Amino acid sequence: MLSSIANRSIWRRVIFFLLIILFGCIAIRAVFSATTRLATADLTFHTLVHEEITRTFAVYVPDNVGPEPRPLVFLLHGGGGSINASWTFEDGQLWRALADREGIILILPEGIQDPGKPNAHHWNDCRTDIIHPDVATTADDVGFILEVLDWAKDELAVDRRRVYATGASNGGMMTFRLLSEAPAAFAAGAPVIANMPEPSECQPPAVPLPVMIINGTDDPLVPYGGGCVAGSSCERGAVMSTAETVDLWVALNGITEDPLTTALPDIVPDDQSTVEVIQYLDPADSRREVLLYRVDGGGHTVPGPAQQSALVTLIVGEKNRDIDAREEIWAFFSRHARPELTEKVFLPQVMVE
pLDDT digits (tens, 9 = 90+) for 71-128: 999 999 999 999 999 999 999 999 999 999 999 999 999 999 999 999 999 999 999 8
Q: Please check whether residue 195 lies inside any domain of the structure.
A: yes
Do 211 and 144 lie in a common domain? Answer: yes
| pTM of structure | 0.86
327: amino acid identity, one letter:
E
Residue 21 has pLDDT above 50, yes or no: no
Question: What is the rounded CA–CA span in Å between residue 233 and residue 252?
Answer: 31
Instruction: Give the residue numbers spanning the domain of 28.
Output: 1-42
Do 127 and 30 lie in a common domain? Answer: no
Q: Please check whether residue 278 lies inside any domain of the structure.
A: yes
User: In terms of pLDDT, which residue wins out, 13 or 213?
Assistant: 213
Do 73 and 197 lie in a common domain? Answer: yes
Nearest to 178 by CA among 152, 148, 217: 148
Query: How confident is the model over 137-168, as pLDDT tens digits?
Result: 889 999 999 999 999 999 999 999 999 999 99
Question: What is the rounded CA–CA span in Å between residue 307 and residue 320?
Answer: 9
Q: Please check whether residue 129 lies inside any domain of the structure.
A: yes
Do 280 and 203 lie in a common domain? Answer: yes
Q: Which residues 6+ apart lie within 8 Å of 207 measured at CB?
A: 183, 184, 252
Q: Considering Cα of 236, then 240, then 246, then 248, what sign does the dihedral take?
A: negative
CA distances from 202 to 181, 247, 252, 286, 290 (A): 8, 18, 16, 28, 21
Q: How many domains does the chain have?
A: 2
